[in-house]
Amino acid sequence: GQNIDQPTEMTATEGAIVQINCTYQTSGFNGLFWYQQHAGEAPTFLSYNVLDGLEEKGRFSSFLSRSKGYSYLLLKELQMKDSASYLCAVMDSNYQLIWGAGTKLIIKP
Amino acid sequence: SAVISQKPSRDICQRGTSLTIQCQVDSQVTMMFWYRQQPGQSLTLIATANQGSEATYESGFVIDKFPISRPNLTFSTLTVSNMSPEDSSIYLCSGTGTGDYNEQFFGPGTRLTVL
């Protein structure tokens, strides 16, 4: 079966760095997406990785290792507004998105 | 990327009734999808809305319960039929085809409560 695992909840301090991990087992791979979802709002696209390595976009970076079925989202200089759920999603061989359950990130002052 | 709007944003309905949710995109998109999301949980794909033909439903979802229309490349509707309290959820419409990475972008969602 297809499976995506990410931690249920993480806590970090304002100004610090946090890494949210995602491991996946899917039938085929056509890219991995990270989304941010604030409570009561729709998910918004953060990043996309299809090749191994690190993609940096401002305070957010995303890493992919296809051989290990592993990705992480790195958030630097955390701000209170970063408190949200972070969803990992993998596009399988049928170009269908398989969604993780999401990681709720709590930022403390 | 394109902008998606949904109507209604929320509704409270009686058991046994039906509700139709509208999804409008401000530009043509390749694919449109309907999701359900329970509070605190991830997204569950209901179906892919196909333009001019029957939607493609995921396991556990059937056309009689969730009829979907997509008459053109910018509009789709999802009907939740014969509702029960278990249908209380947030329903999200999404589309692809206008982003750099073929990413899905979402409408604001419809919060449905069934009494």
Burial class (CB in 10 A: 0-12, 13-18, 19+), A48: buried
Asked if A48 and B101 come within 8 Å (Cβ–Cβ), the reply is yes
Question: Radius of gyration (Cα) for chain B, nearest Å?
Answer: 13
Strands (E), chain A: 3-5, 9-13, 18-25, 32-37, 44-49, 53-57, 60-65, 70-75, 84-91, 97-99, 103-108
Asked if A48 and B103 come within 8 Å (Cβ–Cβ), the reply is yes
Distance CA B23, CA B8 (A): 9
- From A32's Cα to the closest Cα of chain B, the distance in A is 10
Q: Do strands A9-13 and A70-75 pair parallel, antiparallel, or not at all (unpaired)?
A: unpaired
Q: Which whole number is the average pLDDT over A90-96?
A: 89
Closest by Cβ to B106, choosing from A43, A99, A104: A43
Asked if A43 and B41 come within 8 Å (Cβ–Cβ), the reply is no
Q: What is the pLDDT of residues A53-74, one digit of tens each?
A: 999 999 999 999 999 999 999 9
Q: Provide the pLDDT for residue B101.
A: 85
**Residues of chain B contacting A41 with CB distance shorter than 8 Å:** 108-109
Q: For an interface test with A, give the residue of B5, B43, B56 to mutate (most A CBs within 10 A).
A: B43
- From B89's Cα to the closest Cα of chain A, the distance in A is 12
B56 touches chain A (CB under 8 A): no
Q: Provide the pLDDT for residue A40.
A: 87
Query: φ and ψ at A104, to 5 degrees?
Result: -85, 120
Query: How far, in whole angstroms, is CA B44 from its chain's centroid?
Result: 11
Q: What is the pLDDT of residues A7-54, one digit of tens each?
A: 999 999 999 999 999 999 999 999 999 999 999 899 999 999 999 999
| Confidence class for position B2, pLDDT limits 50, 70, 90 | confident
